Structure 1
Amino acid sequence: MRENASAGQPVLSIENLTTAFRTPDGWRAVIRDISLQVHAGETVAIVGESGSGKSVTALSTMRLLPPDRARCEGRILLEGRDLLKASEAEMRAVRGGSIGMIFQEPMTSLNPVFTIGNQIAEALVLHQALSWKAAEAEALRLMERVRIPAAKARLHEYPHKFSGGMRQRVMIAMALACRPKLLIADEPTTALDVTIQAEILHLIRELQREENMGVLFITHDMGVVAEVADRTVVMFRGDMVETGSTEKIFAAPRAIYTKSLLASIPRLGTMGEARSPRRFPEVDPETGMATGGRETKAVAPEAAPILKVDNLTVRFDLPNGRVHAVENVSFDLRPGETLALVGESGCGKSTTGRAIIRLIEPTAGSIVVDGQDVTRAGTRALRAMRRTSQMIFQDPFASLNPRITIGSAIAEPMLAHGLMGKRESKARVAELLEQVGLSPAMADRYPHEFSGGQRQRVSIARALALEPKLIVADEAVSALDVSVKAQVSNLLLDLQEKRQLAYLFISHDMAVVERVSHRVAVMYLGEIVEIGPRAAIFGNPRHPYTRRLISAVPLPDPSRRGMARPMLNEEIKSPVRAHDYVPPKRTYLEVSPGHFVQDTAMAEIASLSA
């Protein structure tokens, strides 16, 4: 525990908090009898899966739940003052003043019609009675403090011009503008790249030390918990099942659910020289019984590639330049094989995947899927090709039509391709739902009636409807809870074994990539800088950028906290070039069988070396 963390009165004391929501059947408690304390300079983590009550606890503390549909019982004390008895006017002074909050999704938390500087300054005008001119000057200082490059020039820009990592820094600047006594961080790093996540975590710790601020950190990422938390509170279905120092929770968990959470964590470096992916251990949260963990079958090296990409280039013209999103990318993929495509946001991973499916038109190069050149395919040939290759998107809720049932969504591609009639499709939908671990009776439900993990299973079932040979999985498990992530990853591995599916697995989660992939390709600024067998990439990374990605992964071991050097370099460089820019010719060295490293442009990113 940090210095002064346990001295004196706690900054926040939650005592026997029960929060209930109004339903047609009466009031239903969603969190029950929650008690915790946060002292100055201390970080307390609340962990658990979606629906466990983590965010409801935070929203109850901030009094942000609708009073006509939610009620809170118990006490929430901020330095001894009960917030549940405070008036709404008093709470407005607390929110953003005494308590700052970082929300999970910065794009929906920032107002798109106001500039960044205006939104940071607003909190200072309201809570510290500064003039707009003085508040804007302080906003600039805060932007520089959270290391936003060219802060002065970006002060008057709008949120859509900032990347996810930069928007999250803006949210931190807003939350810390009035020097709060308590910071509530609700999943502040979920879905961020590992390097940006490392920077955000380091930034929060550094600012916490400067202000001696208490931090309530809400997350489902146990690696992040090990990295930042002094004490941990574990929640399950609205109940607090275990609490204690983070070191003790990790070393000797007592609750069965805590044991299941820790057992489900993908740990970097556990695969060794294994040739094939290995299933994640799945643990029943109520019995603690573990299953899985076996290695899957190896891919036959003599199999002909189902996908062959040669010199793929995708560029987008802008008024003042050109985005070199993907530049001369080449690789192949065999049946039953998983090639993981990794890198930071903006490196070209998703653009590559979308170009292969022809959701984006390639600028140059060839893409051959099952013997057909996708880039030259007409409308009819492209339609036929879509039976061979399918895509699983990162956000299943956004990719499912909210107005039709999931049964209709799964049947739609079969009907569109004329594979069967409506009666036969119903039986096929039931079969597909069973294959992905869902009940056929769920076919009549709508997407909003499912959890995130269940919706992703529906997306997988829809992708399997046409019996494809190739699936592009674009961040398919990145935003899922740790146990759901294990279940969905295992489902993908099982389906691969049964059907010899080829996966292009696009991800920034290096621990999951190590577990599920046969080979790994690392992308930086639209180019593949290193590609090879999984064991070679993780066991002997040769490119400085690959080392940076691996070293930024948080370790799920509190005793090793701080061993990985924080990455505080500037944001990833821009892929925008002048219209007359000619990319240099890249060459690759084969450092071991099948392991290739780009030997040009090393000087360009030497600063990224760990």
Structure 2
Amino acid sequence: MTTAMTTTPPVLAVENLTTSFKTTEGWKAVIRDINLHVDAGETVAIVGESGSGKSVTALSTMRLLPAGRSRIEGRILLDGTDVLKMSDKQMRSVRGGSIGMIFQEPMTSLNPVFTIGNQIAEALVLHRGLSWGQAEAEALRLMERVRIPAAKTRLHEYPHKFSGGMRQRVMIAMALACRPKLLIADEPTTALDVTIQAEILHLLRELQREENMGILFITHDMGVVAEIADRTVVMFRGDMVETGSTHEIFANPRAVYTKSLLASIPRLGTMGAANAPRRFPEVDPATGEATDGIQMNPVPQTVEPILRVDNLAVRFDLPNGRVHAVEDVSFDLRPGETLALVGESGCGKSTTGRAIIRLLTPAAGSIVIDGQDITKAGNRELREMRRSSQMIFQDPFASLNPRITVGSAIAEPILAHGLMGRKEAKLRVSQLLEQVGLSAAMADRHPHEFSGGQRQRISIARALALEPKFIVADEAVSALDVSVKAQVSNLLLDLQQQHGLAYLFISHDMAVVERMSHRVAVMFLGEIVEIGPRAAIFENPQHPYTRRLISAVPIPDPTRRGQMAPPLSEEIKSPVRAFDYVPPKRAYREVSPMHFVQETL
């Protein structure tokens, strides 16, 4: 007599999934015939560009798409039960119960009018039947488990008082509150700094081991995929083009799109001792093969700086103290040069950029642009200054007026400064759009009609409208997909070469910084702790924080998994000080020519 073997069904099995949306022309399929499964204790990554269908696959699994305007076909089996046949009431118990979900932007998922503790406790009351008192005690335990410092006091704070990394930890606590069998993580680390990203990845792995939880991890960051995924599904324009073990996908990609995706990845440590930026790999769309980009021009050190910042300080008063957001920051920037400003959220890099453009008022120090100290400038002088200095923001959609066409948005500064009449400005807009790789005919469209990468090109065109001498690029490519990031970065490098533009390139993406910059300044708690030529910073980092930052970058090679730095044992100190606090004067030592490191106290 033989005994039949029983196999444990996967936590999630997606079979022949096709999701369509209703349009004026009828139903349009946005993902087609998707098949995947996730076992207990396994991590499966879905990768691809924006518009590939990654998030629609996740939202279909959770049945979170709008009723009446979406249609889901196929089968989605959770522990063998088809969720597409469940009632709405059953699905409400599944969401947050058997399936937890972490969204890309936690601030849009957290209710701003309720405290953090209230929002975590609510899920526990609904799904686990706890009393409110029990739920609050469990919420505190969960916050401590995801390593939120001073959890007991922060339990009663509101979301806006938490940093991006802390809000993401709150979302993880909420997603794990009911001990789900499956966790769907939709781009949970895309907008996070590398050290915080490393913390989140360590945390997810640890919690997965404890609960034997399956994870469906959606991302476009191939470094993260290499670090955590057991298997990988590659999607392109709604189709699943390749699937297999992560090691096999990286070592032997078969689909042309997978090859081009891997070829587009900027890899840390590939620049060596080069003293100038290098264009990102150019990928042949037919074969997916890449040729390394050409090296750009070095910057002559004899050229007079276009920007000189000395002892800059920016501070904000709070009821209980003063935030020393930027303290005693000094650097210069030459025509045709890129100085990268790197560091974690809250380190002061964006505040520095905004102060230089005078979107913020400095508390101390000088900012000299073309020989004029703009900290002492009046409205008229500031208006003139903004002709020579412009800013590109991280979120182009938020910086473009949704009610006017992109042509009007680009023409606006030209007309405001009285540089041209409307007819000449319209011609100039056409030239600028073509210069950034778009069509002149696109001038009549509105921002919502463009992709994220196209909107960033429009923002660059607008920044170029007044023919500036330097541009502050604040996380200008951080939220873009791998291939789009390469295209926009190459565009910035080409424009620099053509026009001699200087960039203050603010970023947390160290691999992009390595390719884009001539020099790098590392910020920590409002201060520059190390500054020097690109090769010196990456090849010979001296400050402990710089080393930490570089070691936290995930390596896009699954054979080197686990080489990221271990999680920090303590949180970054608060920049809030007493009103009578006097910042210490820092000392720097020169490690090598132009390479300076702050002396540790």
TM-score by length of 1: 0.97
The residue aligned with 1:245 is: 245
Deviation digits for residues 395-447 of structure 1 (CA, Å, limit 9, x no counterpart): 00000000000000000000000000000011100000001000001000000
1:318 Cα offset (Å):
1.5
> Aligned equivalents of 1:82 and 1:130: distance in 2?
28
Which has the higher mean CA deviation after the structures are superposed, 371-380 or 400-409? 371-380
User: One-letter code of the match for 2:487?
Assistant: Q
The residue aligned with 2:152 is: 152
1:565 Cα offset (Å):
2.6
Q: Confirm or deny: 8 A CA contact 1:333 1:339 kept in the other structure.
A: yes
The residue aligned with 1:468 is: 468
Equivalences for residues 508-587 of structure 1 within 5 A: 508-587=508-587
Deviation digits for residues 77-98 of structure 1 (CA, Å, limit 9, x no counterpart): 0011011111111101110000
The residue aligned with 1:167 is: 167
> Aligned equivalents of 2:30 and 2:49: distance in 1?
14
The residue aligned with 2:497 is: 497
Secondary structure at the aligned position of 1:234 is classed as strand
The residue aligned with 1:299 is: 299
Q: Confirm or deny: 8 A CA contact 2:310 2:366 kept in the other structure.
A: yes
Tell me the percent identity: 83
The residue aligned with 2:176 is: 176
Classify 1:437/1:149 alpha carbon distance in 2 versus 1 (closer, same or farther; 3 Å).
same
Deviation digits for residues 447-501 of structure 1 (CA, Å, limit 9, x no counterpart): 0110110000000000000000010000000000000000000000000000010
1:381 Cα offset (Å):
1.0
Q: Confirm or deny: 8 A CA contact 2:306 2:469 kept in the other structure.
A: yes
Equivalences for residues 24-423 of structure 1 within 5 A: 24-285=24-285, 287-288=287-288, 290=290, 293-423=293-423
Deviation digits for residues 186-232 of structure 1 (CA, Å, limit 9, x no counterpart): 00001101000000000000000000000000000000000000000
Which has the higher mean CA deviation after the structures are superposed, 292-301 or 554-563? 292-301
> Aligned equivalents of 2:121 and 2:201: distance in 1?
24
> Aligned equivalents of 2:283 and 2:406: distance in 1?
28
Compute the RMSD of aligned alpha carbons.
1.0
1:370 Cα offset (Å):
1.2
The residue aligned with 1:436 is: 436
Classify 1:459/1:333 alpha carbon distance in 2 versus 1 (closer, same or farther; 3 Å).
same
Q: Confirm or deny: 8 A CA contact 1:322 1:576 kept in the other structure.
A: yes
Classify 1:51/1:285 alpha carbon distance in 2 versus 1 (closer, same or farther; 3 Å).
farther
Deviation digits for residues 285-327 of structure 1 (CA, Å, limit 9, x no counterpart): 4542535611001111211100000111111111211111111
Classify 1:544/1:7 alpha carbon distance in 2 versus 1 (closer, same or farther; 3 Å).
farther
User: One-letter code of the match for 1:11?
Assistant: V
The residue aligned with 1:18 is: 18
User: One-letter code of the match for 2:523?
Assistant: M
Structure 2: segments with no counterpart, 5+ residues: 1-5
1:522 Cα offset (Å):
0.3
Q: Confirm or deny: 8 A CA contact 2:548 2:565 kept in the other structure.
A: no
> Aligned equivalents of 2:523 and 2:464: distance in 1?
28
The residue aligned with 1:605 is: none
Which has the higher mean CA deviation after the structures are superposed, 21-30 or 363-372? 363-372
User: One-letter code of the match for 1:229?
Assistant: A
Secondary structure at the aligned position of 1:308 is classed as strand
Classify 1:166/1:30 alpha carbon distance in 2 versus 1 (closer, same or farther; 3 Å).
same
> Aligned equivalents of 2:346 and 2:357: distance in 1?
19
The alignment of Structure 1 onto Structure 2 pairs a total of residues equal to 596
Which has the higher mean CA deviation after the structures are superposed, 290-299 or 17-26? 290-299
Q: Confirm or deny: 8 A CA contact 2:48 2:236 kept in the other structure.
A: yes
Q: Confirm or deny: 8 A CA contact 1:7 1:39 kept in the other structure.
A: no
> Aligned equivalents of 1:107 and 1:560: distance in 2?
33
> Aligned equivalents of 2:553 and 2:288: distance in 1?
27
Q: Confirm or deny: 8 A CA contact 2:392 2:476 kept in the other structure.
A: yes
Which has the higher mean CA deviation after the structures are superposed, 277-286 or 247-256? 277-286
1:254 Cα offset (Å):
0.3
1:389 Cα offset (Å):
0.3
Deviation digits for residues 365-414 of structure 1 (CA, Å, limit 9, x no counterpart): 11111111111111111101100000000100000000000000000000
> Aligned equivalents of 2:224 and 2:292: distance in 1?
24
Q: Confirm or deny: 8 A CA contact 1:45 1:218 kept in the other structure.
A: yes
Secondary structure at the aligned position of 2:46 is classed as strand
> Aligned equivalents of 1:274 and 1:55: distance in 2?
39
> Aligned equivalents of 2:289 and 2:443: distance in 1?
30
Q: Confirm or deny: 8 A CA contact 1:232 1:249 kept in the other structure.
A: yes
> Aligned equivalents of 2:135 and 2:542: distance in 1?
47
> Aligned equivalents of 1:403 and 1:599: distance in 2?
51
User: One-letter code of the match for 2:160?
Assistant: H
The residue aligned with 2:454 is: 454
Q: Confirm or deny: 8 A CA contact 1:282 1:483 kept in the other structure.
A: no
User: One-letter code of the match for 2:376?
Assistant: R
The residue aligned with 1:424 is: 424
1:67 Cα offset (Å):
1.6
Q: Confirm or deny: 8 A CA contact 1:339 1:517 kept in the other structure.
A: yes
The residue aligned with 2:3 is: none
> Aligned equivalents of 2:202 and 2:289: distance in 1?
36
